[in-house]
Amino acid sequence: MKPFIYDYTMEELQEWAVSQGEPAFRGSQIFDWLYVKRVDSFEQMSNLSKALRQKLDDSFSFVLLKEIAKYESSDGTVKFLFGLHDDHGIETVVMKHNYGNSICVTTQVGCRVGCTFCASTLGGLKRNLTAGEIVAQVVQAQRILDARGERVSSIVIMGTGEPFENYDATMNFLRIMIHEKGLNIGQRHITVSTSGIVPSIYKFADEGTQINLAISIHAPNDALRSKLMPVNRRYPFNDVIESLNYYIAKTGRRITFEYALINGVNDRPEHAKELAEVIKGMSMSSHVNLIPVNHVPERKYVRTSRNDIFNFQRVLTDAGINVTIRREQGHDIAAACGQLRAKHMESGTR
C-alpha cells in the first residue's frame, strides 16, 4: 500500500521533493496545498508540473477518511465515526465553544491501557494510527468548518487511545498541526492527555514545546489508582508524580490533572483531602479538572451526584488547589469516547 501523504511533515516533504530532483520549496508548495488550500487531489496542485503531480500520485495515497456516521448534538457538538482503509472505525469529536471550535482526536484503534471506566479499551488495542490518520481527522473537520467560514482553533488529544504509546506518530501529528505554513494551530491551544506513561512524560518534557499536558490521575493513591487504571501497576503513582515534577521544572508550564468522579469509589471527601496533600507542592503549576464519569453499560460505575461533585471541589479549593468541573457536551449523541465505535462494532464496523 502506498504511504499516506498526510503522514509527512513539511521537512519530510521537502526531502522527498529533493529526492525527486526538484528544489526543496516544491515540498513547501505541497504542504501549502494540503493544509492551507486543503485540496483533495494531487491533480488540483496546479503550480506543480504535471510530471511531479504524477510522481506524487504514484508515490502516495490521498484518500481521506470515510465518514461512516455523523451525529449532531443540540449544543453544536458533532461526533464522527470515520472508517480507515482497513475498515477499522475511529471517533472524532468537534465541539463548538464561544471562543471557537475544538477537536478531540483519536490516536489508536482501541486502547490497551484498560482504564476500568472507559469504553474504548473494551476490545483492546487493534493498532496505532499513523500521524497522517490523526492529521486527516483535523483536515476533514476543517473542510466541513470551511463551509461556515470557521476554523479549528484548538485540539485535544483525548479521543480513543494512549497518545504516549504511539509517541512518534503523535509528535509528527503535532509538528504538522503547529507549522506556521500550515494549519498553524497555536501550541498553547493544544493539549495532550496521557494515562501516565512515565518514560514518554520525560521525553515530552524535553521536546521544548509549548503544548499543554494533561494527566489522567483519577485516584489519590497507588492502591486505588491500580484498581481503576491497570497502567498504574506498570508506572506507579509516585513515579508518575515524579515525572510531572520534572515536566514542570523543565518546561515551566502548568499541568492539568483529570479526575473522573465515580460514585462511592473515588469521590469521597477523604479522597479529595488525600489528593490535595499529594499535589499541593504543585498547586501553582497545576489545576484539577473534575469529570463526572460517563456511564459505560459494560461497567457498574455510577456518576457522582452534583452535590458530591461540589463537595469534592470545595475540599480541594479550601486546600488552595485550582479546580474546574468539566462542562459536558454532546450528551444526547452517543455520549463518551469509545461508545460510538462500540455501538457500531456491534453492527459490523471493526
Rounded Cα–Cα distance for residues 121 and 111 (Å): 5
Give the shortest CB-32-to-ligand SF4 separation in angstroms: 34
Which position among 121, 170, 266, 304 is part of the footprint of ligand SF4 (CB under 6 A)? 121
| Segment holding 165, helix H or strand E | none
Choosing from 104, 258, 337, 346, the catalytic residue is 337
Per CB under 6 A, does 111 bind ligand SF4? yes
Per CB under 6 A, does 91 bind ligand SF4? no
- CA distances to 23, 114, 194, 270 from 322, rounded to whole Å, are 52, 28, 20, 18
Per CB under 6 A, does 103 bind ligand SF4? no
Piece in contact with ligand SF4 (CB under 6 A), picked from 6-14, 45-53, 118-126, 136-144: 118-126
CA 166 to chain centroid: 11
Q: For residue 109, give the nearest of 167, 172, 160, 43 by alpha carbon.
A: 160
**Cell digits for 212?**
499543554
Which position among 14, 77, 92, 160 is part of the footprint of ligand SF4 (CB under 6 A)? 160
Choosing from 91, 133, 165, 258, the catalytic residue is 91
The smaller minimum CB distance to ligand SF4, of residues 162 and 308, is found at 162
Piece in contact with ligand SF4 (CB under 6 A), picked from 31-39, 50-58, 108-116, 173-181: 108-116
Which position among 27, 161, 220, 330 is part of the footprint of ligand SF4 (CB under 6 A)? 161
- CA distances to 117, 118, 180, 333 from 264, rounded to whole Å, are 14, 17, 47, 27
| Segment holding 167, helix H or strand E | helix 167-178
Rounded Cα–Cα distance for residues 23 and 20 (Å): 9
Instruction: For residue 104, indicate whether it is catalytic.
Output: no
Q: How far apart are the first and last CA of the chain?
A: 20
**Cell digits for 180?**
506556521
Q: For residue 325, give the nearest of 229, 261, 232 by alpha carbon.
A: 261
Within 178-237, which residues bind ligand SF4 (CB under 6 A)? Answer: 195
Per CB under 6 A, does 162 bind ligand SF4? yes
Give the shortest CB-183-to-ligand SF4 separation in angstroms: 24
Instruction: For residue 337, indicate whether it is catalytic.
Output: yes
* Cα-only R_g, the chain: 21
- CA distances to 126, 197, 255, 260, 262 from 231, rounded to whole Å, are 18, 8, 20, 16, 18
Piece in contact with ligand SF4 (CB under 6 A), picked from 85-93, 154-162, 171-179, 261-269: 154-162
Give the shortest CB-329-to-ligand SF4 separation in angstroms: 17
Which position among 13, 93, 109, 113 is part of the footprint of ligand SF4 (CB under 6 A)? 113
The answer to whether the beta carbons of residues 4 and 60 sit under 8 Å apart is yes
CA 280 to chain centroid: 27
Q: 217 among the known binding-site residues?
A: yes
The smaller minimum CB distance to ligand SF4, of residues 55 and 218, is found at 218
Give the shortest CB-224-to-ligand SF4 separation in angstroms: 15
Q: 294 among the known binding-site residues?
A: yes
Q: 104 among the known binding-site residues?
A: no
Per CB under 6 A, does 120 bind ligand SF4? yes
Q: Which residues are catalytic?
A: 91, 337
Binding residues for [4Fe-4S] cluster: 111, 115, 118
Binding positions for ligand SF4, rule: CB under 6 A? 111, 113-115, 118, 120-121, 160-162, 195
